[in-house]
């Protein structure tokens, strides 16, 4: 029994790395524009299908599809921004409706292009088991857990040290004041969408490399990313990682100790618990001020 629990914790940790990669893009846009992009999961899924296309048509590893996925997803993210940026009245609620509609369009486009079949990678290297004592995981899971940590570090450095990173934080803090200081809010918000697109592209390729994909998966990915963003608190990259790991561990323990049918319920239960106890998230604004 102890071995099962340890394996569940290990699997949840690895899954949390993938979840964090999926949630980072949504967290960046939400932190900058206070807009919840309900098409984010579909953008991740679009990158996953780019990985499938490169593998199935060219016989290459899905990892080779990352440049193509970045180009396709960033173009789609720019189009989403083009729609959202035109909304002036009641931006929060109207952007929710608009991005939901875009998500439906992307889901049906994926369905028309790639059909409703379930897809998974055939790469033996990515699926090969790596055993460490009583624990085991796929090589792809370990590789993309490391990629997730590296991208989170790169995002933290970009936000803290680069000019555009500081501009993104300034616009997120006070859009009008940032504009008075000479920062173009529109261009800065577009940059945040493109950064989110790059993160979504890497997350999508990772998703295809370690699991199965099908066109209806996008909405579930958006829900997970939103749960992690709320768990983290707005503007906290370490919080995204911690929230993602908590979600992954909660789901893995539920599957191991109870039933796989309760996996999604465990995530929602954790989400509601944190909302009640820490409304600002694990690393939300009030804790940072303290």
Comparison of pLDDT for 113 and 274, the residue scoring more: 113
pLDDT at 113 over 60: yes
Comparison of pLDDT for 187 and 32, the residue scoring more: 187
SS3 call for 34: coil
Measured over all CA atoms, what is the biggest interatomic distance in the chain, rounded to whole angstroms? 61
DSSP, residue by residue, 210-258: HSEE-TTHHHHHHHHHHHHHHHH-TT-HHHHHHHHHHHHHHHHHHHHHT
Comparison of pLDDT for 87 and 68, the residue scoring more: 68
pLDDT band of 266, cuts 50, 70, 90: confident
| Predicted TM-score (pTM) of this structure | 0.89
The label of the residue with tokens 């624990």 reads: 135
10 Å CB burial of residue 153 (0-12, 13-18, 19+) is: exposed
The whole-number average pLDDT for the span 17-46 is 87
pLDDT of residue 234: 61
Q: How far is CA 271 from CA 41, 111, 233, 257, in A?
A: 18, 30, 12, 20
Q: Distance between CA atoms of 20 and 247, rounded to whole angstroms?
A: 10
**Pairing of the two strands 129-132 and 135-138:** antiparallel
State which H helix or E strand residue 164 sits in: helix 163-173
Contact call for residues 252 and 9 (beta carbons, < 8 A): yes
pLDDT band of 285, cuts 50, 70, 90: low
The whole-number average pLDDT for the span 34-42 is 88
pLDDT of residue 284: 60
pLDDT of residue 92: 77
Contact call for residues 89 and 220 (beta carbons, < 8 A): no
DSSP letter (8 states) at residue 162: S
pLDDT of residue 260: 80
CB atoms within 10 A of CB 107: 20
User: Model confidence over 158-207: pLDDT tens digits?
Assistant: 988 888 888 888 887 787 888 888 888 888 889 989 999 999 999 999 99
pLDDT of residue 198: 94
pLDDT of residue 90: 78
Structure-block tokens of residue 112: 């028309």
pLDDT at 281 over 80: no
The whole-number average pLDDT for the span 80-104 is 88
The whole-number average pLDDT for the span 251-263 is 86
């Amino acid at each position: 029994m102890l071995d099962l629990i340890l394996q569940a914790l290990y699997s949840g940790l690895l899954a949390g790395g993938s979840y964090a990669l999926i949630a980072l893009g949504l967290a960046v846009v939400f932190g900058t524009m206070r807009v919840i992009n309900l098409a984010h999961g579909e953008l991740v899924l679009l990158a996953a299908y780019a990985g499938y296309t490169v593998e199935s048509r060219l016989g290459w590893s899905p990892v080779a599809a990352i440049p193509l996925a970045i180009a396709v997803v960033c173009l789609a993210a720019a189009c989403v921004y083009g729609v959202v940026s035109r909304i002036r009245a009641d931006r929060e609620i109207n952007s929710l409706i608009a991005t939901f509609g875009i998500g439906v369009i992307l889901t049906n486009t994926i369905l028309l292009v790639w059909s409703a079949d379930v897809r998974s990678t055939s790469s033996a290297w990515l699926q090969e088991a790596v055993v460490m004592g009583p624990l085991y995981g796929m090589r792809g899971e370990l590789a993309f857990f490391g990629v997730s940590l590296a991208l989170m570090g790169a995002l933290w450095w970009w936000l803290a040290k680069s000019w555009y990173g500081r501009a993104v934080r300034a616009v997120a803090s006070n859009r009008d004041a940032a504009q008075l200081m000479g920062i173009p809010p529109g261009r800065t918000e577009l940059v945040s969408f493109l950064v989110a697109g790059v993160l979504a592209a890497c997350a999508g390729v990772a998703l295809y490399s370690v699991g199965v994909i099908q066109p209806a998966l996008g909405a579930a990915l958006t829900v997970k990313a939103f749960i992690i963003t709320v768990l983290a608190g707005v503007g906290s990259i370490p919080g995204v990682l911690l929230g993602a790991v908590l979600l992954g561990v909660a789901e893995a323990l539920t599957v191991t100790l109870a039933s796989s049918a309760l996996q999604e319920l465990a995530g929602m239960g954790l989400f509601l618990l944190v909302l009640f106890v820490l409304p600002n998230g694990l690393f939300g604004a009030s804790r940072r001020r303290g």
